[in-house]
Structure formats: C-alpha cells, structure tokens
Chains A and B, each alone.
Chain A
Amino acid sequence: MPKPTPTEIPENGSAGVLAGVLADLREIIVDLSHSRGLIYQLTLRDIRVRYKQAVMGFAWAILSPLLIVGAGTVLRVAMLRMSGQQFAAIDAGGIALKGVMWGFFASTLSLGTTALSGNPNLITKVYFAREVLPLSVVLAGAFDALVGAGAVAIVLPLTGWRPTWAVLWLPFLAVILFTFTLAIVLAVSCANLFYRDVRYLVQVLVSFGIFFVPVFYTPAMLGARWIGPQMANPLAAVLEGARLSVMDGHNLSVSLPSATDGVLLWSPLYLVSSAGTAVLMLAMVAVIFRRAQFRFAEYV
C-alpha cells in the first residue's frame, strides 16, 4: 500500500543563513564544553598509546623535526655554497623551530584524516559531539609539538642564541597554527568519511607541502615580489613570524624592511590576515562539519 510521502521542508529553511551559522557555532561550543571529559580522555588515549614505550614516544616527537632540520640544513648548505656564503648556526635554529611547527601540522593532518573513518564503531553506535575525534588528534599532536619545542629550547642556547622579549609572540603564533590545523583536520576528516580517496591526496600534500611553505627557506629567497603571495598562506606567515621573533628578536607588531634594498620582509598585516583566515576557516568548517555529522553514521 503506498504511503503518502512528506514534502514539507524541515526547520531553518528561510531563517537566514547567518543566524543559522551563529546558532550552529553556539551549539558546537556548548557541546564541546560539555564534552571536556571526553576530549581529555581521547587525547590522553592518543598520548598514552604513543608514549607507552617511553623511548619510542619521545623519538616520535623529536624524530620528525630532527629529520626536517637535517634535510633543511643539507638544502641550505647547498644553496649557500652556490652563492658563496657560509652556513650559520642561526639558520639551523630557524629551521628547527619551523620544523617543529610544520611537523605538528603535517603529522596531525596525516593522523587526523582518519579520525572519523577509522572509528566506525564509535560513530555508528555511540553519540557524542563528533568534533571531539579530530580535536583530540590535534591536541595529542600539540603535546608532541610541545615535547619537540622543549628539545629545541634546550638545544638553541647551546648554539649561542639568547632569548629576547619577542619570544612572547610565540604562544600567539602557536594559537593561530593550532586553529588553522584544526580547521584543516576537521575538513579533511569529514571529507575522508564521505570520500575515501581523500586520504591519498592528503598524503601527497603532506609529503610535498613542505616545499611550498617556507620551512627550509625564507620567503625573501624567492624574490621580493613573492613575499606577499606566500604570506597569504597562514602557515607561511606563522612559520616566518616564529623565525623572525624567536631567532631575530623582531617585534611582529612592526614592519621589517630589508636592510639592503628596503623590501618589506614582514608586515603586521601578515599576522592579522593569517589569524583572520584561520579563525574564519575554522568557523566555516565547523559549521559544515556540524551539519554533515548526522550523516556520518550512514556513510562511515
């Protein structure tokens, strides 16, 4: 017997897109604040599992920045030899610092891609705010990054580096980096749940992304006109900002013209735009994620 099928559109059809987005954001914040205990346990799980064998755990946190520093040093020495310059310890320090930050982004992205698709049992059987799965991966990655940063902080003074007040920019940069990474991981974990080949694309991007972000080099090395376009990438601005503030002691709230030709190496606008981009992306991705999550259990 054919049953009548309903045709009316459910809720928030014409309530206004912005009002809907704001309502969703509020709901996400409320849900996540109720899920603090779960976020803590899931993050703890990831950290525990990784550090269960203490040696392997710390190696995990330090190995990837160490490799990045090694690769960057080789590359830089080669470049400097061609232009007849000497490699300085401060260059290695800058690469190490950026290496830890890039390592956080890259490894979190790799692990976070399957944060949802790797937990079908949880998603089809238990309800909780789904954001906590990618979020806890990013938090556990942040823990690794702190271990790596600790290692850098121990080694740097041995190379003759001395801290300045500009180091205080670092926590602010770290927050931007965290926000941006979380936005990307949320988006990618959600995408990989619906389209399983996203994972492979992410692997390629993570492998080669390091060459498109100023980790081994500084933006100015590509020429003055390419500094601005590079800095449009929040990741580039954060990494370069970290190098300038920590290694060169530059205050990020003022512009930095090049000593030789007056080209602008740094502008506070870079910081504003990267922070703005990261926050906007996170808000947009979070809303899409929230609206898609009721389909997770049907697709995972």
Chain B
Amino acid sequence: MGVTTPQITFDGVWKKFRRGEVHNSLRDLLPALTRRAFKGEFLRPDLAASEFWALRDVSFSVQPGQTLGIIGNNGAGKSTVLKILTRILRPNRGRYAVRGRIGALLEIAAGFHQDLTGRENIFLQGAIMGMGRRELRRKLDDIVAFSGVEASIDSPVKTYSSGMNARLGFAIAAHLDPEVLIIDEALSVGDYAFQRKAFGRIRALATSGIPVVVVSHQLDRISELCTDVLLLANGERVEHGRPSDVIAAYLRGDGNTIAHGAKPSPVTFAQAAVVGPQSIRSGAFARIRLGGVVSEPLGEHIEPIGIVVRSAQTGDTVFETGASMLQLPLPPGAFEFELELQMNVQPGIYLIDVDVWDRATEEQFLEGPRLTIRVVEGDTFLGTTNLNARLAARDREAAFVS
C-alpha cells in the first residue's frame, strides 16, 4: 500500500440534539454519569421526546481536487456536519472518515489569551490548531507579515482592535499546511482589503488539489470556490451536484412553491444560452438567446416568456421583464430571439429565470430554463444598482440660486 490519499467520507450520518436548555441537579450527577459511561449510553441511537435529529442520513464524499460547498438555511445542519468532520461532535449513527491532516477554519482566534502578546498567542493558537513549535517558529515571520500587525506583535492582544485580532487569527490559520481543509464562514474577517487577501488565500488552498469542505451563506463565493454543492434542509440532503444546479434549487426553495403541471404550458423552450462571455464587468451588457415553440394562440393575460433576474448572493429580485412587456410578438410556431441586459449591478452571481405564467391568476405553467451570469468589478459604486450619476453643471447652479 502506498500513501493513503487524503479524503473525506460521510456515510449515512445521523446526529441528534436536545431541544432547549437542560437543567440537571447535582444529586444524580455521579451515578448517572457512571451508569451512562459504562453502558455506552452517551450516544443512544434512538430518539427521546425532547430530542431532534440535526442530521438525518447524510452522505457525501470529497476527493482530492474537489471542493464541496454546503448550503442551506439556518438550522439546516451545516455546522453540525463540520463539527462532526473536525471531531468536535460524534454522530449517533453512521460512519465518517477524514484521512489526512485537517486544517479547520471554524473559529480562528478561539484560543487567544488577552494578556499574552501577539507573538505568544501565535504559538498558543498554532498549537491549538495542531502546529508544532518548530513549524511555528519557521513560519512566524510569514504569519506576522500576512497579518499586518508587525508593529504590535509584542504587545498584549487586549490592546488590539477586533480587526487586528481577526487578522492575526486568520494569518495563523492560513499557514496550516492541511491535507484536508474545512472552512466555516471564516471567509470574511478584517477590513475590505484584508478580506480580499484572506479570500485569495482560501481560494489558493481550495484550488491546490486537496479535499475541501466549505460552509457559507455567501452563494457567490460558494459558486466560485466549489466543484460540488450539497443543499441541506432540516438535516436532510435536498440536492447534491453541480454548484449552479444546487444553488438554483436552493433559491427556488426559498421562494414560493410551484404548481407543477396544473395546465399544459402554451409555450415550451428548446434553447436558452448566454451568448458571449458568461463573466462580464459591472455596467456591461449580458446577452442571452432564447428559443422555443408556441403551441397555441396566446391569451391576453398570458406572460409567455417571463424573465426574472435574481442575485445569487441575496436571492433578491433585481429586475423583471417579459415578452409582453417587451412587446415581442409571439405567433404560434417556433421563435428565437436575443436579449441584452445592462448589468448595472454589484459584482456577484446573477440568476436569470425564464418561465411562463398567467398574469391574472399568478399561476405558473412552466418553470423554464435558468441561466447564470457572473458580474465582476467594473464601474464602481455603492448600493445595489448603478444609476450612472453625473454632474449637471447648470442644475447645480440653479440649486445654489434658489
């Protein structure tokens, strides 16, 4: 046998928690503790009334080169998965295995002691994360440089700002040489510049070929980092697959439920594609092509091609239009057209959903194709939408006069 390849497996894992606060009296402490410990009852696999399953039969595996993102609403079980992977929690049932040295970015400054200096804390926190003293001594200069707190490295950490604290913590974590990486929302620390630096480091680690598991609410980052995405809801697997599909499923589930096949749709789509680059600068035009068939004459209240643009990060609807609004004539028969959208929005992932619906009853006939556009930095602005502000000299004068 050669060296075992680092990998993560999670096989039919169940984990239960107690609901609410548990109050126990001292009187039954030792007998109960002893009894339970010796009978192995600490991890009873059945469920009492006060308990609930935080994870139900969750399975996945992550091979070298794969980055698995885990998404879902609060309480879906994302953190529980990470805590089982890092051995903080043990499942009630099922198997899990993490082969290789784990680097976990769960809480990056948890071990800091406020009275110790930054330098002393590097050794303390590093040891907590599993780094040896020799290793830390070798990496010390890099860690200090990365954190950007050189000037205060020999001052007690209690004199640090919260940003400096987080930066130092991240710098230590970033210098682990993990064979397996587990990340939980540690992606955003410090100021904007440091966040970018930190994310760059995470991206470098995540794409270095090691197995990675990431939990985040920031869907654009998940979609940027991950090769696979797992969607959890109430501790159960909902979807597992390509990032765009799973993120789409997540956003769909976030909205209203869809009445499938209530009525046959008068319009069906044969093709939908982004024409040109999928990644464009903010302020530039995205171009999409849609094609399909109209099977019957359309009634007044039918929206044959509804187009909704949503932010993958927030799920908010950014823009909505449709064939009727665009006054696109759609006689029965085949159709094909191209549409341009000026993406005056912040960088991020945007989902373009196409559907067919009845404007009178708000009934959806068909949930059509979904396209994804990535907006990268271009025109700089604050807020959600670029209104292309510019100075108009005459109006400004007028304002001063009045």
Interface residues of A (CB under 8 A from B): 3, 5-13, 17, 20, 37-38, 40-42, 44-45, 48-49, 52, 121-128, 190-191, 194-195, 197-198, 201, 287-288, 291-292, 294-295, 297-299
In the complex, the answer to whether A122 meets B128 with C-beta atoms within 8 Å is yes
B130 CB contacts on chain A under 8 angstroms: 38, 128
Knowing A49-B116, A294-B43, the reply to whether A122 touches B37 (Cβ < 8 A) is: no
Contacts of B106 in A (CB 8 A): 125-126
Main secondary structure of the interface of A (DSSP, over half): helix
Contact residue among A5, A52, A195 (Cβ-Cβ distance under 8 Å from B24): A195
Contacts of B93 in A (CB 8 A): 6, 8, 10
Query: B37 contacts which of A8, A38, A198, A291 (Cβ < 8 Å)?
Result: A291
> Whole-angstrom distance between the alpha carbons of A176 and B225 in the complex?
54
* Minimum distance in angstroms from B302 CB to a CB of chain A: 35
In Å, the complex CA distance between A249 and B69 comes to 69
Indicate if the CB atoms of B45 and A41 lie closer than 8 Å: no
The range of chain B's interface size is 35 or more
**A residues less than 8 Å from B127 (CB atoms):** 37-38, 40-42
Q: A125-B110, A191-B33, A195-B29 are in contact. Are A3 and B24 (CB under 8 A)?
A: no
Q: How far is the CA of A191 from the CA of B37 in the complex (A)?
A: 13
B1 at the interface (CB under 8 A from A): no
Q: Could you list some 11 contacts between A and B, CB below 8 A? A: A3-B236, A7-B46, A13-B40, A40-B133, A44-B124, A121-B111, A122-B128, A127-B86, A127-B88, A191-B30, A292-B42
Report B91 CB to chain A, min CB distance, Å. Answer: 9
Q: Which 3 A-B pairs have the closest CB atoms?
A: A125-B107, A41-B127, A294-B90
Contact pick for B88, options A5, A125, A287, CB 8 Å:
A125
- Do the beta carbons of B46 and A295 come within 8 Å of each other? no
Contacts of A17 in B (CB 8 A): 38
Quick check: B89 and A8 within 8 Å, CB to CB? no
The answer to whether A6 and B111 touch across the interface, beta carbons within 8 angstroms, is no
Inter-chain contact A297/B89, CB cutoff 8 Å: yes
With beta carbons under 8 angstroms apart, the residue of B53, B89, B126, B132 that contacts A294 is B89
Q: For B18, what are the chain A residues with a Cβ–Cβ distance below 8 Å?
A: 298
User: In the assembled complex, which residues on chain B have CB atoms less than 8 Å from the CB atom of A194?
Assistant: 24, 29, 33
Q: How far is the CA of A10 from the CA of B42 in the complex (A)?
A: 11
Q: Which of A6, A12, A49, A190 has the most CB of B within 10 A?
A: A6
Q: Which residue of A lies closest to B112 (CB)?
A: A121
Bound-state Cα–Cα, A197 to B38, Å: 24
